[in-house]
Amino acid sequence: MHKKSPIFLVAVFACLISLFLLLLSTPALASEPVYGPGNSIMAVICVETNNTYKGFIPHYNDHFPPGSTVKIYVEASGKTTKNDVTGEYKPSIQFKMTGTRPTGATFTASTSSSKMINHDKTLYKETYGIISFSIGKDIKIGDYRFRVEATDSNKKGERIGRTPYMHFYVHENATLYPPINYTYSNLTVEPNPAEVGTTVTVTVNVTNLGGKGNWKGETVYLDVNGTEVKAAKTLKLANDENTTVTFRLTKNELGEVPAIFNISIGGLNETLILKEKAPPPTTTPGSGGTAAGGEEAVPGFTAVSVIAALCFVVIYRRLSRKGR
């Protein structure tokens, strides 16, 4: 059996080590947080922030268009000092982003933060901040590699932690947000069945399950038996935003004879039954309505006649007795 040479085994071992190191250094997806050793620092690339704790929207991929801004949400825990005026115990952290451009040149961006995640009177507290890096319109296309370091100003600039390398790409066709994805649900038709001449109300819920990438308006169309009869105003919905669109169908669209219609919006379908208009109600004699022969019955007439007849009989008998 042929033995492997020591040089071959060393080469294989070196390849395995290189592959392992490469896997360790593979950047995380842009929407995933990146932590420093022992979770001493956390950073995540985002596209929107509202300057509140966890008030950020992670970026859905690692590509940015020229002219946009890369935002890095960062957290770390630092030593606090007491503010004698407010009584608060506040940290003071310096976050610094350091990276290299595709050309090899370096770039930096930083922020200092004393924004507290809680207001407990503790010696150490977590703080958060937002680092912004503006991408010029004429900036070099390619890979931008960076990491974020946190230092504690209350401990003479001692380094708290540093993230592994992260990166983002600048690409002329990139978009900050996921592509829009309008979806339809809850198609309702009321009343159903409906009588000829009745106005029918059709509603549908529209939701954007995507983002604002390549943002365009969505016009909602209503089809009756495969023919477009109505169009709503153009919608522009942000990610996860939804609205209800309402249409009204009259005899102009449905006609004036009984029929069955297929109502369709955004791939959803409902069947509308248009039936004959019900005849006006009729009444029977003695029921308080119109009597036979078209004469109006007098309420209580039968009872009055009976009472009058009884009185006549009683009076007649008494007069007969007196005449004997």
Q: What is the mean pLDDT of the chain?
A: 83
Please choose, from the candidates 116, 125, 29, the residue with its C-alpha nearest in 3D space to the C-alpha of residue 79: 125
pLDDT grade, residue 117 (50/70/90)?
confident
Interval 291-306 mean pLDDT: 48
Report the alpha-carbon distance of residue 57 to residue 31 in Å, rounded: 9
Which segments of the chain belong to CATH 2.60.40.10? 182-275
Which segments of the chain belong to CATH 2.60.40.770? 26-170
* Beta-carbon contacts of residue 321 (< 8 Å; ≥ 6 apart): none
* Percent over 70 (pLDDT), the chain: 78
Among 2-6, 70-74, 156-160, which stretch is predicted with the lowest mean pLDDT? 2-6
Per the model's pLDDT, the better-predicted residue between 199 and 21 turns out to be 199
Token pair, residue 294, equals 């078209």
Overall fold of domain 182-275: Immunoglobulin-like (2.60.40)
Per the model's pLDDT, the better-predicted residue between 268 and 12 turns out to be 268
Token pair, residue 80, equals 């606090």
Residue 323 above 60 pLDDT?
no
Residue 210 above 60 pLDDT?
yes
* Beta-carbon contacts of residue 210 (< 8 Å; ≥ 6 apart): 177, 178, 179, 180, 181, 182, 239
Each residue's pLDDT tens digit, 69-96 = 999 999 999 999 988 888 889 999 999 9
Strand partners, 156: none
Interval 293-320 mean pLDDT: 52
Contact 161, 56 (CB under 8 A): no
Residue 25: predicted pLDDT: 43
Interior/surface letters 226-263, b for 16+ CB within 10 angstroms, e for the rest: eeeebebeebebebeeeeebebebeeeebeeeeeebeb
Interval 183-212 mean pLDDT: 94
Residue 321: predicted pLDDT: 57
Interval 285-292 mean pLDDT: 52
Among 224-233, 279-288, 305-314, which stretch is predicted with the lowest mean pLDDT? 305-314
The amino acid present at 143, given as its one-letter code, is D
Residue 295 above 50 pLDDT?
no
Rounded alpha-carbon distances, angstroms, from residue 46 to 29, 64, 78, 102: 11, 11, 23, 21
Token pair, residue 299, equals 């309420």
Rounded alpha-carbon distances, angstroms, from residue 229 to 183, 246, 261, 268: 20, 13, 12, 16
Peptide bond into 193 cis (omega under 30): yes
SS3 label, residue 151: strand
Each residue's pLDDT tens digit, 33-45 = 999 999 999 999 9
Interval 260-264 mean pLDDT: 96
21, containing H or E segment: helix 6-25
Residue 308: predicted pLDDT: 57
Overall fold of domain 26-170: Immunoglobulin-like (2.60.40)
Each residue's pLDDT tens digit, 127-138 = 999 999 999 998
Residue 178: predicted pLDDT: 87
Contact 234, 253 (CB under 8 A): no
SS3 label, residue 121: coil
